[in-house]
């Protein structure tokens, strides 16, 4: 069951990563078009604002993918000095703290979106972008990251309880210096 959860999350995050990549490519193309147009004396305008929005959305959605690819930075000074069971406990502790923190971020980002929806807020820029258009996918990205974090934590707990430490480490461990060099 734990492996099914992790496999499903990886598949879903694969599609999320592709969508984020397409969004970033489109954003880069628009910026490039704006640069060319500026050389010709015209401009699309607002590309800096739009790229900021795209980066915020890409970041919130990309965090879940990065988690499953073990791409988040961790300091593993003590972890590396323990056996498989000790590493599993450090990993579970890290996942618990990460999941709790991400959940807090998601919960605290809701009032930002709710206020924008209630006030029909727009950006204080020439584009006057409705903020809810940007904050909704941004908020949902944080919620997705929280869901991925908790489901990954639950799957890892299931693996550790069964004594499958190597599979748990593959799911929530960290790349040490030795593994990174290989």
pLDDT tens per residue, range 51-96: 999 999 999 999 999 999 988 887 777 777 888 898 899 899 999 9
58: containing domain: 2-181
Query: What is the torsional sign of CA 163, 157, 4, 73?
Result: negative
Q: How many structural domains comprise the chain?
A: 1
Q: What is the mean pLDDT of residues 34-38?
A: 93
- Phi first, then psi, for residue 13 (nearest 5°) are -70, -25
Greatest mean pLDDT among 42-46, 67-71, 89-93, 142-146 lies in 142-146
Residues 19-28: tens digit of each pLDDT? 999 999 999 9
Say whether pLDDT at 176 is over 80. no
* Percentage of the chain modeled with pLDDT above 70: 96
CA dihedral 97, 100, 103, 107 (to 10 degrees): -130
pLDDT of residue 180: 45
**CB–CB of 23/58 below 8 Å?**
yes
**CB–CB of 44/33 below 8 Å?**
yes
Q: What is the mean pLDDT of residues 122-146?
A: 94
Nearest Cα neighbor of 169 from 103, 82, 61 is: 82
């Amino acid at each position: 069951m734990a492996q099914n959860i992790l496999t499903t999350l990886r598949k879903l995050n694969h599609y999320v990563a592709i969508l984020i990549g397409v969004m970033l490519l489109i954003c880069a193309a628009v910026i490039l078009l704006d640069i060319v147009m500026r050389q010709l004396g015209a401009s699309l305008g607002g590309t800096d604002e739009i790229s900021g929005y795209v980066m915020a959305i890409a970041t919130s959605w990309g965090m879940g993918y990065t988690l499953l690819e073990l791409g988040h930075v961790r300091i593993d000074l003590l972890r590396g000095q323990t056996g498989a069971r000790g590493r599993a406990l450090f990993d579970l502790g890290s996942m618990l703290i990460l999941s709790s923190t991400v959940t807090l971020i998601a919960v605290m980002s809701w009032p930002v979106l709710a206020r924008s929806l209630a006030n029909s807020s727009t950006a204080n820029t020439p584009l006057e972008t409705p903020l809810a258009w940007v904050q909704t996918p941004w908020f949902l990205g944080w919620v997705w990251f929280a869901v991925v974090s908790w489901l990954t934590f639950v799957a890892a707990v299931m693996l550790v309880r069964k004594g499958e430490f190597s599979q748990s480490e593959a799911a929530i461990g960290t790349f040490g210096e030795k593994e990174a060099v290989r």
